[in-house]
Copies of this chain bind each other. A is one copy, B any other.
Amino acid sequence: MTQAPAPVEFWFDFSSPYAYFAAQTIESVASKHHRPVLWRPFMLGVAFKATGMTSLSQTPLRGDYARHDWLRLARRAGIPFELPDGHPATQLSASRAYYWIEENEPDAASTFAARTFHAYFAAGQDTSSPEIVAGIAAACGLDPRDVLGAIALASVKEKVRVMTDEALRRGIFGSPFFIVDGEPFWGHDRLPMVDEWLDRGGW
């Protein structure tokens, strides 16, 4: 018997631009090292309360820089990026739907997550709406009525709370945040180091 390789944990908030950029390449970084990716949405706003930080977009100077940096990253990667009106929108519905899909149709989960990022950052869709989220799930082969029902379930709501608590307990305070064999890496910028860590087995 061989043990399955430990996953690269990819913690993120669906409204995080840097997580959108990381979502473009995390699967290829992990698969290069024969690792699966465990997509882990959580509610970044709860972590902000613990650290006293605020959303980048709402921080003077830093917010201006970040908006410039996101466009620069998008041009560099050749991918669309447009900050939605009302950004950042709380992504409870998408996070709930994600965990329900992961439990019930695990093969569709990462595709749903990637498409949710695309819907929010590239297609101008309001992914805070349960109906929009159900529509994204439908495009991934799920029954949108099941997903709409799931988003309203107490057990699914509780799952997102539990995952957000787990994030905080494990010291995860930002998005994206990667954990590789117990080693924490914060930020899209750290992906080359995640790659190097996987390659060298740490240092």
Given contacts A61-B168, A68-B184, A171-B64, contact A52 B54 (CB under 8 A): yes
Query: Of residues 103 to 155 in A, which have CB atoms within 8 Å of B's CB atoms?
Result: none
Q: What class of interface size applies to chain A in its complex with B?
A: 20 to 34
Tell me the nearest residue of chain B to A63, going by C-beta. Answer: B51
Return the contact of A173 from the options B50, B62, B68, B76 (Cβ within 8 A): B62
For residue A186, CB closer than 8 A to chain B, the reply is yes
Give the docked Cα–Cα distance between A62 and B60 (Å): 20
Q: Quick check: which of A4-12, A92-100, A187-195 contacts chain B, the rest being far away?
A: A187-195
Contact pattern, A 35-77, Cβ under 8 Å of B = 1, otherwise 0: 0000000000001001111100001111011001100100110
Residues in B whose Cβ lies below 8 Å from that of A172? 61
**Residues A51 and B47 in contact in the complex (CB < 8 Å), given A68-B184, A189-B190, A203-B75:** no
- In-complex Cβ contact of A51 among B60, B184, B189 (8 A): B60
Q: How far is the CB of A128 from chain B (nearest CB, A)?
A: 26
A174 lies within 8 A of chain B by Cβ: yes
Return the contact of A59 from the options B53, B60, B68, B69 (Cβ within 8 A): B53
Contact across chains for B65 and A60 when beta carbons are under 8 A apart: no
Return A51 CB to nearest CB of chain B, in Å: 5
Chain B hits for A51, CB < 8 A: 59-62
Q: Which residue in chain B gives the minimum CB-CB distance to A64?
A: B171
Question: CB within 8 Å of B: which residues of A?
Answer: 47, 50-54, 59-62, 64-65, 68-69, 72, 75-76, 168, 171-174, 184, 186-187, 189-190, 192, 203
